[in-house]
């Protein structure tokens, strides 16, 4: 890859990693949009995005957990069903264009909710285990099919349903994304029988952006700021699903 192309890709990856990790996400939808925009082959975009996702999700999980925002009780029912379904989604290669358009519109609606007069956190109430397990299965399948970690769907759902406060939702989503990204990558590799395309400069850019973003998101940004940033993230993800 020529240097004049690599530098702007790395810069874009760094910005995406910073923005997404500040809300507990890892950036797969943003990485996919960047790599698609720069003309990388579709066969390498999905697994490469999942690898970057794993790196940044590790950082976000650590930072939000160290800051005391993680809830195992909320996390495990989502994860127990999402991981096998993320593997299934990564294994399958289905035509998903109409499906992606519908999901993109849902994400844009959620983005508007967070960008236009975001509300302060309200007293949360935990979902039942049956609801959490069912939601986890659906989001895991979406994660594997679309090549993203699933947090882009989980975080707004948890916040809008008032299942947790904003930073707890971010913390839970970070580990949820990590688990689903690993599972989705393994499913993808089972189909392709090869390791994903990867470049060290992209990894360095993602790690730098993810380190700074997750630190500020977990320790310094307010809940309202995170909701606004989440609105921006969801807008990027929504348009990515609609137009790529």
CB neighbour list of residue 197: distance below 8 Å, 6 or more residues apart: 40, 41, 44, 47, 48
Reported as a pLDDT band with limits 50, 70 and 90, residue 194 is low
C-alpha 106/C-alpha 110 separation (Å) is 6
pLDDT in tens, 48-90: 888 898 999 999 999 999 999 999 999 999 989 988 887 887 7
Q: What is the mean pLDDT of residues 113-139?
A: 88
pTM of this prediction?
0.82
- Report pLDDT for 92: 74
Over residues 10-17, the mean pLDDT reads 93
118 pLDDT higher than 90: no
pLDDT of 215 > 90? The answer is yes
Residue 1: per-residue pLDDT: 63
Across 39-43, 97-101, 158-162, 229-233, least confident range: 97-101
The rounded percent of the chain whose pLDDT value lies above 70 is 91
| The two structure tokens encoding residue 137 | 């299965």
Instruction: Kindly tell me if the per-residue pLDDT of 147 is higher than 90.
Output: no
Summarize the confidence of residues 156-171 as an average pLDDT.
92
List of residues 6+ apart from 154 with CB closer than 8 A = 78, 135, 139, 169, 172, 173, 176
- Of residues 207 and 185, the one with the higher pLDDT is 207
What per-residue confidence (pLDDT) applies to 59? 95
More confident residue, 24 or 3: 24
- The ranges assigned to domains in the chain are 3-243
DSSP string for residues in 110-159: HHHHHHSSPPPP----PPPHHHHHHHHHHHHHHHHHHTS-SHHHHHHHHH
- Whether the pLDDT of residue 161 is over 60: the answer is yes
Q: Does 102 score more than 80 pLDDT?
A: no
Q: Collect contacts of 153-162 with beta carbons under 8 A, ≥24 apart.
A: 153/103, 153/107, 154/78, 155/23, 155/24, 155/25, 155/230, 156/107, 156/110, 156/113, 156/114, 156/230, 156/234, 158/74, 159/114, 159/227, 159/230, 160/110, 160/113, 161/127, 162/122, 162/123, 162/124, 162/125
In angstroms, the CA 138 to CA 6 distance is 36
pLDDT value of position 149: 62
């Amino acid at each position: 890859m020529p240097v004049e192309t690599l530098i702007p890709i790395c810069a874009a990856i760094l910005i995406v990693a910073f923005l997404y990790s500040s809300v507990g996400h890892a950036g797969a939808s943003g990485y996919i949009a960047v790599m698609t925009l720069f003309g990388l082959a579709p066969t390498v975009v999905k697994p490469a995005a999942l690898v970057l996702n794993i790196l940044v999700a590790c950082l976000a999980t650590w930072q939000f957990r160290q800051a005391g925002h993680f809830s195992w009780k909320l996390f495990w029912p989502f994860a127990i069903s999402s991981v096998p379904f993320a593997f299934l989604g990564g294994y399958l290669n289905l035509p998903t264009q109409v499906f992606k358009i519908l999901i993109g519109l849902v994400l844009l609606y959620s983005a508007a909710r967070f960008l236009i007069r975001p509300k302060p956190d309200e007293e949360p109430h935990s979902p039942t285990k049956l609801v959490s397990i069912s939601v986890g299965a659906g989001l895991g399948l979406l994660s594997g099919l679309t090549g993203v970690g699933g947090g882009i769907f989980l975080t707004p759902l948890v916040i809008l349903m008032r299942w947790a406060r904003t930073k707890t939702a971010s913390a839970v989503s970070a580990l949820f994304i990590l688990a689903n990204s690993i599972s989705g990558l393994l499913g993808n590799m089972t189909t392709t029988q090869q390791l994903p395309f990867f470049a060290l400069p992209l990894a360095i850019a993602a790690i730098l952006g993810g380190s700074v973003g997750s630190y500020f998101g977990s320790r310094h940004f307010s809940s309202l700021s995170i909701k606004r940033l989440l609105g921006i993230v969801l807008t990027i993800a929504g348009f990515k699903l609609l137009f790529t």
